[in-house]
A = this chain, B = another copy of it.
Amino acid sequence: MDALKILVVDDESRMRKLVKDFLTKKNFQVLEAGDGEEAMDIFYKEKDIALIILDVMMPKMDGWQVCREIRKNSKVPIIMLTARGDERDELLGFDLGVDEYISKPFSPKILVARVEAILRRTGQDMAQDMLSAGGIVIDKAAHLATVDGKPMELSFKEFELLTYFLENEGIALSREKILNSVWNYDYFGDARTIDTHVKKLRSKMGEKGEYIKTVWGMGYKFEVES
């Protein structure tokens, strides 16, 4: 999984470094720009910037201008760094499509929290780990599986197994293959243990348990209808 790119725009290099340090620690890739023009350059060159942190006060092209310019082409989330208590700014900003404000001075912790919250909200985070087929939905982030909207109470292994099935919809999977993927590769117990798990899965899935089909002399296959 690649790190998400965050562009930090501020004329003070110390501030950039501070923010960068904290975001880097959280496994983001941080790009820096010292002024608005540079920011635009980088933004257009790099195709996949996930979020921009923008200081309002900058020489040449200020934060608002940069924001306006970017909004012409992109909906990338923008966090503005403002001086404390300037609500006029905020009003202006919300019209421009700013996602969040953080007033200086701020704690890096808050910054990081907001960044993560926004990325989560805009669904860019963790690649929206969702899977679905035939009314069964798997939300990896929540570690939750539902049938027709109703949550199933699955154990860890059951969840993993069902996920593996969904990821390989329509493909016949040998017990060996399942064992190697869902269990550890060095596992060496009885292959029949899979049968038991399949049994439980099927029963917890109700009538949709039929989607897990037995492939005789071979293993199992997840398939919706036919």
Given that A143-B218, A155-B217 are known contacts, is A117 also in contact with B185, CB under 8 Å in the complex?
A: no
**Interface-facing stretch out of A29-37, A69-77, A108-116, A196-204:** A108-116
Interface contact B121-A87, CB-CB below 8 Å: yes
Question: Contact mask A200-226 → B, CB, 8 Å, 1/0?
Answer: 000000000000000111100101001
Q: Which residues of B contact A215 (CB under 8 A)?
A: 143
Interface contact A143-B113, CB-CB below 8 Å: no
Q: How far is the CB of A5 from chain B (nearest CB, A)?
A: 21
Given that A142-B221, A143-B215, A143-B221 are known contacts, is A167 also in contact with B87, CB under 8 Å in the complex?
A: no
Within A152-203, the residues touching B (CB, 8 Å) are 155-157, 167-168, 170-172, 185
Q: How far is the CB of A155 from chain B (nearest CB, A)?
A: 6
Q: Which residues of B contact A141 (CB under 8 A)?
A: 170-172
Question: Contact mask A85-123 → B, CB, 8 Å, 1/0?
Answer: 101001100110000000000000110011011001100
Q: Answer yes or no: A144 CB below 8 A from chain B CBs.
A: yes
Q: Which residues of B contact A168 (CB under 8 A)?
A: 120
Instruction: Say whether chain A's binding surface is mostly helix, strand, loop, or mixed.
Output: mixed
Shortest beta-carbon contacts, A-B, top 10: A156-B217, A143-B172, A94-B113, A87-B117, A141-B171, A142-B170, A143-B215, A156-B216, A94-B110, A87-B120
Can you identify 28 A-B contacts, CB atoms within 8 angstroms? A25-B185, A85-B120, A87-B117, A87-B121, A90-B113, A90-B116, A90-B117, A91-B114, A94-B109, A94-B110, A94-B113, A110-B129, A113-B167, A116-B167, A117-B167, A120-B171, A141-B170, A141-B171, A141-B172, A142-B170, A142-B172, A143-B218, A143-B221, A144-B172, A151-B226, A155-B216, A156-B217, A156-B218
Known: A142-B170, A155-B217. 6 other contacts (CB 8 A): A90-B116, A91-B113, A94-B110, A142-B223, A156-B217, A156-B218
